[in-house]
Chains A and B, each alone.
Chain A
């Protein structure tokens, strides 16, 4: 499922990558950026926590010209008047203007790194409303954001997660060269699917999924098949007893 989300990036979607101190999600975030660039999509990155050099490191150099980095870092709050984009400018009007000024042929992808810094300074309900307006506005294809879930109240994480069409939570695995991603995907019909997978991020920002740990929908299906088989066996057994 993780690779489907990476390759699909459905229009109007909001993909939320949640991490903690135990396992960083910035690697997966960069994989999403790289995948979008390789698809020929324009990507606007609102960089509040990491420098442009750090974000661009490892990305496909042939596509980097389609990456538009808006420098929040190193001055995301405007203390030094050196920022081209502060946390206060995360509004639908500012971002729509930013995108229209860039004159793209198609709606671009918007990446927010990270939403945690924004939520430190703004009400989560207000930010959620702004993100919803951006999603529905048609000027942006997909929003992808990183959130450090261990830095916020559970309620705040819940508000933002509820808004997302896909939530990817990363955690460490027993194998130190891999991590575990729990992907929860909500379709437009309201159906929710969840899957846990081992994954690894290579130096060139390629995401590889190693193995499936557990697939909730698939497990339920297998259980149902087993039940039918048992019922059929019992019925068959009764038939034979009757015949005898």
Chain B
């Protein structure tokens, strides 16, 4: 969890906005550090977390989580964390002769054109499961984290099917259950003729749906040892107002966290 990012977004594990859909995107950079931030943030907040880890193993997230002060293994044992290990479960889903109930949430691997209804059912059942703390109290509002949604495009799932899935997740998680969603998507190079199906179209579709967009890019001036990139924070209001404030910050990722600062105020510059 990154305290400076909490300050920028005006939220803490004790006090955060609910019913939020947070979109994390990157272009020629790696925004996965933000997924690790939100994972530790919501676990510390006592929320029930459903994490779809589609591109890394559980041990990877667990190792990073340890550095940020949370134990994913303990959270999973207690029932606070439901983790879908996409890489590991995918092999079973592909090698089976026919789709079974146990792998229905990964049915898109065998039939990409069928959509992500099975995956949505998995998310819905995970967050609606009853489960209490050891001391008998129930968990906080549910949270859905996905890393990374754009990999589904490589598996043949269409942008439309993914946007349908996120719409349903948002309706259930945010509108009905007053929980939050954090989704990572990786963008391609910007292209003037950007009509075609691809990650950029997916990102635009998700920006239309989200409340807060965090976009990470490398510095336009190139590599810098002390500044690893820039992050644009775009607060998207409920839809009626014209004013959607945007701010850009520079950041540096450390071994156990990340620093955020206003442009031009890096300690290497001052």
Judged by a CB distance under 8 angstroms, whether B163 is at the interface is yes
In the bound complex, CA of A74 to CA of B164 (Å): 11
The stretch among B60-68, B82-90, B235-243, B255-263 that forms the contact with chain A is B235-243
Judged by a CB distance under 8 angstroms, whether B98 is at the interface is no
- Contacts A77-B164, A151-B205 given: A30-B242 contact, CB under 8 Å? no
Are B240 and A120 in contact, with the CB atoms below 8 A? Answer: no
Taking CB as reference atom, which chain A residue is nearest B208? A148
Residues of A near B201 (CB, < 8 A) are 151
Are A120 and B160 in contact, with the CB atoms below 8 A? Answer: yes
Are B167 and A49 in contact, with the CB atoms below 8 A? Answer: yes
Residue-by-residue, is B188-219 near A (CB-CB < 8 Å gives 1, otherwise 0)? Answer: 00000001000001001101110000000000
Our pick among A20, A23, A178, A203 for the contact of B240 (Cβ within 8 Å) is A203
Are A177 and B242 in contact, with the CB atoms below 8 A? Answer: yes
Judged by a CB distance under 8 angstroms, whether B176 is at the interface is yes
Residue-by-residue, is A1-40 near B (CB-CB < 8 Å gives 1, otherwise 0)? Answer: 0000000000000000000110110110010000000000
Are A54 and B239 in contact, with the CB atoms below 8 A? Answer: yes
Are A150 and B160 in contact, with the CB atoms below 8 A? Answer: no
Are A150 and B243 in contact, with the CB atoms below 8 A? Answer: no
In the bound complex, CA of A65 to CA of B180 (Å): 32
Taking CB as reference atom, which chain A residue is nearest B176? A74
Residue-by-residue, is B227-264 near A (CB-CB < 8 Å gives 1, otherwise 0)? Answer: 00000000010111111110000000000000000000
In the bound complex, CA of A23 to CA of B243 (Å): 9
Judged by a CB distance under 8 angstroms, whether B138 is at the interface is no
Residues of B near A154 (CB, < 8 A) are 195
Residue-by-residue, is A60-80 near B (CB-CB < 8 Å gives 1, otherwise 0)? Answer: 000000000000011111010
Those of A42-88 within 8 Å (CB) of chain B: 49-51, 54, 57-58, 73-77, 79
Are A21 and B160 in contact, with the CB atoms below 8 A? Answer: no
Judged by a CB distance under 8 angstroms, whether B168 is at the interface is yes
Which interface class (under 10, 10 to 19, 20 to 34, 35 or more) fits B? 20 to 34
In the bound complex, CA of A27 to CA of B204 (Å): 19
- Contacts A30-B240, A50-B239, A51-B175 given: A74-B168 contact, CB under 8 Å? yes
- Contacts A120-B160, A151-B204 given: A201-B172 contact, CB under 8 Å? no
Taking CB as reference atom, which chain A residue is nearest B121? A79
Residue-by-residue, is B163-177 near A (CB-CB < 8 Å gives 1, otherwise 0)? Answer: 110011001100110
In the bound complex, CA of A21 to CA of B242 (Å): 12
Q: Which of B117, B163, B242, B243 has the most CB of A within 10 A?
A: B242
Q: Which of A73, A117, A151, A178 has the most CB of B within 10 A?
A: A151
